[in-house]
Amino acid sequence: MTTAAALSERLLVVDDLGAGYGGMPALRNVSLEVRRAEIVALVGSNGAGKTTLLRALSRVIPCTGAINFNKYDLVPMAPDEVFGTGLVQVPEGRQLFDRMTVEDNLLMGAYRRTDQTAIVGDLERMYGLFPRLGERRTQLAGSMSGGEQQMCAMARGLMARPDLLMIDEMSLGLAPVVVEQLMDVLQAIRGEGVTVLLVEQDVHLALSAADRGYVMDTGSIVRSGSAKDLIDDPAVREAYLGLA
């Protein structure tokens, strides 16, 4: 497949998605798509509904509308089945197994796989992508710094060999130098064919790394387009980038 054909292949198609909590709507009429080998940014302020959208896609909360991923209809699926289709979420706050080692956390990401030799190979690949994890492979995950824990959460997600990795608030609370390393990893894994949905309150950071973006506000998509066009959009600049 040529790069142009691969880029145009729609991996995730979300149509008219709605969700809420106890009858209170938190998502309304959300439609978006992610093409294979793209990095797509989903940005918006605190409380805009980004995490709720990821929860709906992972089928952790009920929703209305349509979600097609990798030719699967996700709406009737349970979260574990969704994971099996190749859609994997790296949750906000990492949610590592704190009392397990780094390596055991990574192996948890591969729990559905049976290809033992390839799993061992992927562990080494993760230690290549994240050398700090290699140095700390026998350390308890809960004893590491925030940046190292984020690396561990991302590597755990990658151990599932996802087609789409959805990363919720990757940069939150991390030092700029660490965020830069994580951004380099995103570009590297995209080069290996992994598609990324990057969910961020840091609008500038996410749009700087992405090909395309969607802006959410109070549960709806209010802007979409190429990342460059969004960065240049006066309304986005004023509302989210603090620029006139």
**Residue number with CB closer to ligand ATP (21 or 111):** 21
Out of 2, 46, 114, 138, point to the residue binding ligand ATP (CB under 6 A): 46
Q: At a CB cut-off of 8 Å and minimum separation 6, what does 104 contact?
A: 97
For residues 45-79, one letter each, b for 16 or more C-beta atoms within 10 angstroms of the residue's C-beta and e for the rest, the string is: eeebbbbbbbbbbbbbbebebebbbeebebeebee
Segment near ligand ATP (CB under 6 A); pick from 40-48, 72-80, 81-89, 131-139: 40-48
Categorise residue 36: left if φ over 0, alpha if ψ from -120 to 50, beta otherwise.
beta
- CB of residue 54 to ligand ATP, shortest distance in Å: 8
Out of 44, 86, 147, 213, point to the residue binding ligand ATP (CB under 6 A): 44
Q: At a CB cut-off of 8 Å and minimum separation 6, what does 191 contact?
A: none
Enter the tokens of residue 97. 């197994």
Segment near ligand ATP (CB under 6 A); pick from 43-51, 70-78, 142-150, 173-181: 43-51
Pattern 151-180, binding to ligand ATP, x per CB under 6 A? ------------------x-----------
In the region spanning residues 93 to 122, those forming contacts with ligand ATP, defined by CB under 6 A, are none
- CB of residue 148 to ligand ATP, shortest distance in Å: 22
Query: E strands within the chain?
Result: 10-21, 24-35, 39-43, 64-69, 72-73, 87-90, 164-168, 195-200, 212-217, 220-226
Out of 70, 85, 201, 220, point to the residue binding ligand ATP (CB under 6 A): 201
Question: What is the distance between the alpha carbons of residues 59 and 80, in angstroms, rounded to a whole number?
Answer: 9
Segment near ligand ATP (CB under 6 A); pick from 49-57, 99-107, 121-129, 152-160: 49-57
Pattern 14-33, binding to ligand ATP, x per CB under 6 A? -------x----x-------
Segment near ligand ATP (CB under 6 A); pick from 44-52, 186-194, 206-214, 227-235: 44-52
